[in-house]
């Protein structure tokens, strides 16, 4: 049996990362050969295929996953033994440090694969003499790849291949990555730099340097127009070297930078060099910005070769997440178990729909690890991930507690009737538990009519506070302004080329706050064209703005008001949909104003407000007094009361009354006895009580 050498091998950071991921995958100090191979394929599939020309990484990875799933691990090879084999490979080539290529060769030869030698390439840093402007304005990604300072890329083989093919062209060798924010466009460019650094690239690119340039740095350095033009010309001259490739992220920023758009701006200065093929440039931008800024400039658009980058799926993101977790945890004592990573991935997939993989999963992972470190703990648990996600997006945490709190608040404030509260609780429990038949729809769609519509604002705040953690998680839209067909632009924005196209919209708050109450006022007033757009959004679970961006409704509670419908409708939720109610026409009344289809999409319709009964109004009076007490604090008055005062108000009112009647009773009772203290120059403590059947104010010493 082979033993490790007594001399401790020297491994670079890339090799150490690979070994750590193998140990984490296997969960043992002596991994099986299939673990070694699968980890290598997950992180360095391109290098593997370059070393073994007849190996197909994707099909082999699937085969290995199947074998490991059956409990087959292959021959056991300990970490010290594999390190020794990699180190021996490096020594044979006269190097004292084993690289990723050495550990890859050791794994493949251990598995019986025949290797082919990669063409020789320079392992020292690229030559950076004579490019002072590039150094001043950017950073060399190839140098960072040599120094193992870039995060290894997982997957994206097709996009990398297309980029390298484009860079090998004689003209128009300028790939532009186009895809949604967070899909990994910049990571692909960093992966290209790593392939160049490792030699796993076409011969024409082996000496290339990839320089990432920040366009805003040019404006920061150039203080005058003449300085700007001179600086750009110097940049073009240095970037025209055959071994330099520029990378410009957010390439749409070039339009209008430093001069008039299309005439003397940065994009216009770069066009001639791009057209002649003197300059190789990789660019990246989102679909929206590409359509808005690049496509209208036909001359600039022709200079680039588009490469579409799709967001990763959850399954494709898993190895990315494992690799990132290994990198983060290596420098700390933190642990993240595989089942926690999978749970984190599922949560990001289900509850962060407005963002893209892999960015949203990586963001949640890093925030969860930071959360644990801040608490001086060493292991990330499922509960930590849920808590962090709740803070990030407002997702309900503790469903039963939230619903109980919501029920108690609705009852104490007498916002809805008892039947309405029960119907609403039933609907929310179904949807928030994941038991609804159409999970893409909003968690609840509520319509408040007649008198009940006046309480919609408070209802929205109460739902937001108890379910989503804050009363300000309410997005308010007034459909009373949208009375013409073209007013749909007030909801979704204007088409490209029209006035207001680039303006922000209220509905865009859903992108940053997906778990919220979408409070839609006066839905009965708007034009039916606008209402049809909303109806399609309810059915599909999202609205699409004028830029093509999806705004998801699936995590919201939709709250509509329609005062003109009146008090006839009763709740039509699960608890209220009886045959008699259908026959008597609650749906017909709603449909006559809003249409049959819209009425059918409402989970509940509430019209009546509760009557405050004399024997059950103590909680409501307490709440009113607390509001008065808060306002008194601004006048330096600390206000308290005893039960005798509450009983006096109840006895004075005697009969059932509306909410405003009770508010008026409290106001009139306190106004006369508190007025002498409002303008007092010193602070005081006042207790309201009753003596001889009348309320009095007692000042405490």
In a domain, 652, yes or no: yes
- Which residues are paired to 306 by β-bridges? 176
Q: How many CB atoms lie within 10 A of CB 667?
A: 11
In this structure, the number of other CB atoms found within 10 A of the CB of residue 504 comes to: 8
> Does 285 reside within a domain?
yes
Answering whether pTM is above 0.85, one says: no
- Across residues 540-556, what is the average pLDDT? 89
552 and 437 inside one domain:
yes
Q: What span, in angstroms and rounded, lies between the C-alpha atoms of 378 and 376?
A: 7
For 91, 139, 266, 304, the CA distances from 259, given in Å and listed in that order, are 56, 25, 7, 22
Contact between 318 and 325 (Cβ < 8 Å): no
**Residues 637 and 586 reside in one and the same domain:** no
Residue 542: other Cβ atoms inside 10 A: 18
**Is there a contact between 248 and 236 (Cβ–Cβ < 8 Å)?**
no
DSSP string of 542-571? Answer: EEE-TTS-EEE-TT-EEEEEEGGG-S----
CA distance 15 to 104: 9
349 and 373 in one domain?
Answer: yes
The number of distinct structural domains making up the chain is: 5
Domain for residue 635, yes or no?
A: yes
Residue 411 has pLDDT above 70, yes or no: yes
Average pLDDT of the chain to the nearest whole number: 84
Is 684 a residue whose pLDDT tops 50?
A: yes
Q: Do 63 and 168 share a domain, yes or no?
A: no
Compare 404 and 62 and report the one with higher pLDDT.
404
Instruction: State the pLDDT confidence band at 288, using cuts at 50, 70 and 90.
Output: confident
What does the pLDDT look like over 457-507, one tens digit per residue? 999 999 999 998 888 999 999 999 999 999 999 999 887 656 555 567 899
Contact predicate 637/687, CB 8 Å: no
Comparing C-alpha atoms, which of 192, 226, 232 is closest to residue 213?
A: 232
d(CA 56, CA 48): 9
**pLDDT per position as a tens digit, 16-75:** 778 888 888 888 778 999 999 998 888 777 778 778 877 878 788 888 888 888 888 989
**Residue 1 belongs to some domain of the structure:** no
Q: Are residues 600 and 633 in the same domain?
A: no
pLDDT band at 164 (very low <50, low <70, confident <90, very high): very high
Residue recorded with tokens 């490096």: 90
Q: Looking at residue 116, what is its pLDDT?
A: 74
The sign of the CA dihedral 47, 51, 55, 60 is: negative
CATH number of 349's domain: 1.10.8.60
Assess contact for 538 and 604: CB atoms under 8 A. Answer: no
- The Cα–Cα gap between 405 and 469 comes to 11
CA 53 to chain CA mean position, Å: 40
Q: The domain spanning residue 49 has which CATH number?
A: 1.10.1780.10
Q: Do 426 and 561 belong to one domain?
A: yes
Of 551, 580, 606, the residue at which a domain comes to its end is 606
What is the per-residue pLDDT for 121? Answer: 38
Q: For 206-350, where are the E strands, in sequence order?
A: 209-213, 244-249, 281-285, 305-308, 335-336
Residue 222 has pLDDT above 50, yes or no: yes
pLDDT of residue 6: 47
Angle between helices 382-393 and 359-374 (to 10 degrees): 110
Taking only the tens place, the pLDDT of each residue in 561-612 is 998 886 554 444 444 444 444 444 556 788 888 999 999 999 999 988 886 5
Distance CA 325, CA 320 (A): 9
304 with 321, same domain: the answer is no
Give the pLDDT mean for 438-466.
92
The arithmetic mean of pLDDT across residues 664-668, rounded, is 80
**Residue 663, pLDDT score:** 74
pLDDT of residue 123: 41
The token pair that represents 212 in the structure block: 């990432």
Single residue among 257, 290, 308 that ends a domain in this structure: 308
In this structure, is residue 338 part of a structural domain?
yes
Segment 544-550 shows an average pLDDT of 85
Distance, CA of 171 to CA of 191 (rounded, Å):
23
In a domain, 658, yes or no: yes
More confident residue, 14 or 204: 204
Does residue 122 fall inside a structural domain?
no
Same domain membership, residue 562 and residue 451: yes
Of residues 437, 434, 383, 432, the one with CA closest to residue 403: 432
Alpha carbon 617 to chain centroid, angstroms:
44
How far, in Å, CA of 560 to CA of 449, rounded?
9
pLDDT confidence of residue 27: 81
Which H or E element spans position 638? strand 637-641
Q: What is the pLDDT of residue 13?
A: 67
The answer to whether residues 598 and 623 belong to one domain is: no
**Tokens at 622, concatenated:** 């307490």
Residues 196 and 231 in one domain: yes
Are 141 and 126 within 8 A, CB to CB? Answer: no
Do 552 and 573 have their domain in common?
Answer: yes
Reduce the DSSP state of residue 66 to 3 states and report it: helix
pLDDT digit string, tens, across residues 609-661: 886 554 446 777 787 888 888 888 877 888 898 988 888 887 776 554 566 67
Last residue of a domain, one of 343, 376, 393: 393
Place of tokens 């701006």: 265
- Provide the residue range defining the domain that includes 355: 314-393
Q: What is the tens place of the pLDDT at every residue in 560-570?
A: 999 888 655 44
According to DSSP, the β-strands at 542-544 and 550-552 are: antiparallel
260: its two tokens: 């008039």
In the prediction, which pLDDT does 497 show? Answer: 59
Is residue 32 located within the same domain as residue 98? yes
Is residue 33 assigned to a domain? yes
- pLDDT, tens digit, 9 for 90 and up, residues 170-190: 888 999 999 998 999 999 999
Strand order, beta sheet including 557-562? 474-478, 517-521, 557-562, 444-449, 604-606
How does strand 604-606 pair with strand 444-449? Answer: parallel
The CATH number assigned to the domain holding 534 equals 3.40.50.300
On whether the CB atoms of residues 135 and 26 are closer than 8 A, the answer is: no
How many C-beta atoms surround the C-beta of residue 522 within 10 A? 19
């Amino acid at each position: 049996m082979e033993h490790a050498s007594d001399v401790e091998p020297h491994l670079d950071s890339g090799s150490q990362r690979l070994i750590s991921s193998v140990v984490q995958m296997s969960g043992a100090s002596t991994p099986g050969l299939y673990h070694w191979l699968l980890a290598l394929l997950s992180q360095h599939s391109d290098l593997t295929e370059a070393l073994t020309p007849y190996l197909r990484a994707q099909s082999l990875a699937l085969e290995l996953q199947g074998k490991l799933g059956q409990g087959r691990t292959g021959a056991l090879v300990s970490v010290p033994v594999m390190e020794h084999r990699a180190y021996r490979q490096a020594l044979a080539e006269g190097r004292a440090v084993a690289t990723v290529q050495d550990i890859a060769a050791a794994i493949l030869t251990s598995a019986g694969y025949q290797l082919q030698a990669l063409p020789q390439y320079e392992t020292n840093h690229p030559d950076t003499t004579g490019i002072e402007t590039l150094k001043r304005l950017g950073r060399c990604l190839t140098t960072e790849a040599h120094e193992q300072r870039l995060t290894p890329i997982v997957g994206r083989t097709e996009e990398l291949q297309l980029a390298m093919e484009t860079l090998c062209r004689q003209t128009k060798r300028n790939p532009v990555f186009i895809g949604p924010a967070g899909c990994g466009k910049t990571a692909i460019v960093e992966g290209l730099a790593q392939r160049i650094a490792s030699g796993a690239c076409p011969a024409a690119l082996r000496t290339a340097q990839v320089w990432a340039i920040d366009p805003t740095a040019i404006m920061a350095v150039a203080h005058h127009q003449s300085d700007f033009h001179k600086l750009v010309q110097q940049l073009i001259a240095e970037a025209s070297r055959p071994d330099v490739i520029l990378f410009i992220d957010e390439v749409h920023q070039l339009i209008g930078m430093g001069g008039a758009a299309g005439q003397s701006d940065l994009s216009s200065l770069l066009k001639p060099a791009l057209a002649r093929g003197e300059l190789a440039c990789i660019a990246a931008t989102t679909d929206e910005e590409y359509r808005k800024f690049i496509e209208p400039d036909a001359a600039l658009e022709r200079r680039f070769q588009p490469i579409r980058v799709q967001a990763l799926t959850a399954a494709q993101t898993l190895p990315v997440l494992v690799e990132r977790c290994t990198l983060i945890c290596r420098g700390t004592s933190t642990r993240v178990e595989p089942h926690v990573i999978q749970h984190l991935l599922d949560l990001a997939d289900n509850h962060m729909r407005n963002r893209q993989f892999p960015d949203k999963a990586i963001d949640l992972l890093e925030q969860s690890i930071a959360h644990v470190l801040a608490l001086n703990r060493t292991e990330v648990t499922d509960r930590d991930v849920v808590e962090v996600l709740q803070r990030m997006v407002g997702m309900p945490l503790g469903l039963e507690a939230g619903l109980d709190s919501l029920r108690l608040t609705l009852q104490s404030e007498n916002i809805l009737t008892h039947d309405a509260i029960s119907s609403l609780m039933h609907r929310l429990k179904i949807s928030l538990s994941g038991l609804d038949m159409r999970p893409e729809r909003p968690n609840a769609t509520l319509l408040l009519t007649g008198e009940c519509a006046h309480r919609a604002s408070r209802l929205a705040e109460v739902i937001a506070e108890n379910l989503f953690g804050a009363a300000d998680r309410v997005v308010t839209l007034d459909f009373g302004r949208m009375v013409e067909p073209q007013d749909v632009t007030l909801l979704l924005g204007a088409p490209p080329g029209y006035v207001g196209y680039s303006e922000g919209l209220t509905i865009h708050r859903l992108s940053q706050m997906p778990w919220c109450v979408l409070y839609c006022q006066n839905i009965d007033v708007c034009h039916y064209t606008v209402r049809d757009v909303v109806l399609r959004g309810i059915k599909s679970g999202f609205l699409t703005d004028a830029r093509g961006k999806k705004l998801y409704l699936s995590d919201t509670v939709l709250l509509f008001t329609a005062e003109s419908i009146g008090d006839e409708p009763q709740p039509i939720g699960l608890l209220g949909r009886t045959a008699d109610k259908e026959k008597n026409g609650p749906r017909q009344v709603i449909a006559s104003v809003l249409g049959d289809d819209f009425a059918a999409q409402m989970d509940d319709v509430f019209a009546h407000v509760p009557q405050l009964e004399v024997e059950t109004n103590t909680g409501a009076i307490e709440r009113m007094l607390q509001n008065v007490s808060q306002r008194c604090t601004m006048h330096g008055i600390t206000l308290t009361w005893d039960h005798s005062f509450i009983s006096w108000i109840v006895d004075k009112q005697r009969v059932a009354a509306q909410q405003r009647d009770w508010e008026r009773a409290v106001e009139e009772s306190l106004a006369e006895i508190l007025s002498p203290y409002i303008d007092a120059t010193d602070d005081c403590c006042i207790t309201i009580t009753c003596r001889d059947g009348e309320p009095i104010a007692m000042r405490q010493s």
